[in-house]
Chain A
Amino acid sequence: MTIPEKQQKIVEEFSFLEDWMDKYEYLIELGKNLPPLEEGSKQEKNLIKGCQSRVWLDVSREDGKLYFKADSDALITKGIISLLVHVFSGHTPVEILESNMDFIEKIGLKDHLSPTRANGLLSMIQQIRMYAFVANTEKPS
């Protein structure tokens, strides 16, 4: 699936969730199901600090595609992370750089990505794009 296709599928899934509690419970399930990052990857260099919660992001590269692994100490944040990892993992830097984040607004989680929310999510997205940007300027490994 392409990035827009994956995003569209998430939007459809969320359209069945009527109220906020359902949305949060769904995100919490996603968060619980996301495999935790190995302790070895939970290093300072992978840590994105926020006042509300902390996020760790690890990236690897294979056949010109980027693969992300991430974790958070908060479950709802981790649920959103799980969506982002699913959307962006396994794609080329160009595909990532050409994508947009409209789907977050469509599923009603825009305020979780506001710059002042300090939960590490916005920084995580910026970090993903930064990795893609750098990978795109380097020669393929």
Chain B
Amino acid sequence: MNISQIRDQFPALQQKVYGKPLVYLDNSATTQKPEQVLQVLREMNAGINGNIHRAVHYLSVECTERYDKARKTIRDFINAASENEVIFTSGTTASLNLLAFSFGQTYVRPGDRIIITRTEHHSNIVPWQMMCQRAGALLEVWEMDQTGALDPKKLEQILDKPGDPPKLLAITHISNVLGIVNPLAEIIRIAHFYQVPVVVDGAQGIVHQKVDVQKLDADFYVFSGHKLYGPTGTGILYGKEKFLEEMVPWQGGGDMIESVSLEKGTTYAKLPLKFEAGTANFTGVAGLGAAVEFVQSLDNGTIEEHEKTITEKAIKLLQEIDGCTLYGIPGTYYGQVYDKIPVFSMSIEGAHPSDIAMMLDKMGIAARSGMLCAEPLLARLNLTSVLRASFALYNTMEELEFFVDSLKKVLKILR
């Protein structure tokens, strides 16, 4: 399939807003869903609906099969060693909160250190702050530089302090503001040298990079379904089995137990169900399975080439705009290559991002303004708001050009 054929698979992209063709450039926030996913959701909501892992009847068995099949699809997709390592959650945020609780309860004691970076989304900051508060642990920050790059030497300085090594490093694969790909392999290598496990926020990474969790040697990798062309309210927590086995459960309830007794206490189910309390979002999970199958069916080379062309052209066009500063420029920093995905955050002299986004909206363009859930990152750049246009595999070169032309029109009015 070429880009235009891929685009045809997404009904949401065919709509008009305010009577104008929709140009959807807020894909880092959420993506639209292909027909293949919608088909599964329709079918299951309309009839294939029975609670999983419980009953012997037809609908329950059918749903259970679809749920379990999706787990296998995800396992293959990220190359996890076992299906026990793939936990379904409601999204990246839930995965990180689960981890912060279960990992924290199991391994973190007063005085322990947890490391995050300045470039994180609030979802990969606040759960760790809460966990440190509960455990009496200390949160340390691996600072970024003005370009958004992370100096590995600074990480080594943090890891190499006297006393016990930190309990965890939590880091994003790709910042949702900067769109540059952190050199994860090198970062994980360094962390592991100091025996520090690594949690990777893959909310953006999984969408634009081929992820092999074993090759990467990430201890945890988390992502959302809705940013990967799948249904809202679905997410994945990948974790190495040795950790997941030891970790205490997060939420209690049905499906996560082996036996419940009021006299002898409760024993928990084996992985992966130990971390999946209550009725799972089985419809959503089946939809996520369909979304991943959709992504797998596409020609990787075509998508990669397309995103690269968009990225190069966008950087060129945006840098030509008078007073425009782009954040997250690809290049070599600290001896590491930082690639860029088609996510473009910028500030423009004399025009506030919120004004720009509001006017673009009325022209049919969905762009984003604000702090992008990354207040500490913006603070480091002395910003209170940025404008962001984020592209997905279905966005065209014409849309990029229309965005830039519209942006120039808006700037004429604002400045």
B222 CB, nearest partner CB in chain A, Å: 24
Contact assessment for B355 and A74 in the assembled complex, using a CB-CB cutoff below 8 Å? yes
Asked if A76 meets B354 with Cβ closer than 8 Å, knowing A20-B18, A52-B369, A118-B370, the reply is yes
Size of chain B's interface in residues, with CB distance under 8 A? 15
Stretch at the interface among A8-16, A21-29, A56-64, A123-131: A21-29
Given the known inter-chain contacts A51-B370, A74-B354, please indicate yes or no for A21 contacting B359, CB distance below 8 A: yes
Report the minimal beta-carbon distance from B57 to chain A, rounded to whole angstroms. 42
How many angstroms between the C-alpha atoms of A54 and B369 in the bound complex?
A: 13
Is B42 an interface residue, CB under 8 A from the partner?
no
Q: How large is the interface on A (under 10, 10 to 19, 20 to 34, 35 or more residues)?
A: 10 to 19
B385 touches A52 (CB 8 A): yes
B379 CB within 8 Å of chain A: no
- A95 on the interface (CB 8 Å rule)? no
B302 to chain A, nearest CB (A): 36
Structural contact, B362 and A75, CB atoms closer than 8 A? no
A32's nearest neighbour on chain B, judged by CB, is B414
- Please indicate the chain B residues that have their CB under 8 angstroms from the CB of A119 in the complex: 354
Say whether A92 faces chain B, with CB atoms less than 8 Å apart.
no
Q: Is the CB of B371 within 8 A of A24?
A: no
Residues of A with C-beta under 8 A to B18: 20
Closest residue to A25 on the B side, CB-wise? B413
User: Which residues of B lie under 8 Å from residue A77 when comparing CB positions?
Assistant: 354-355
> Within the assembled complex, what's the spacing in Å between the Cα atoms of A58 and B352?
22
Q: Which residues of A contact B371 (CB under 8 A)?
A: 51
A73: B residues at CB distance < 8 A: 352, 384-385
Considering only residues 368-396 of chain B, those with a C-beta below 8 Å from chain A are: 369-371, 384-385
B residues in contact with A76, CB < 8 Å = 354-355, 358-359
Contact residues, A65-111 vs B (CB, 8 A): 73-77
Q: In the bound complex, what is the Cα–Cα distance between A41 and B385 (angstroms)? A: 22
A-B contact pairs, 26 of them (CB 8 A): A20-B18, A20-B362, A21-B359, A21-B362, A24-B358, A24-B359, A28-B355, A28-B413, A51-B371, A51-B385, A52-B354, A52-B369, A52-B370, A53-B354, A53-B385, A73-B352, A73-B384, A73-B385, A74-B355, A74-B385, A75-B414, A76-B358, A76-B359, A77-B354, A77-B355, A118-B370
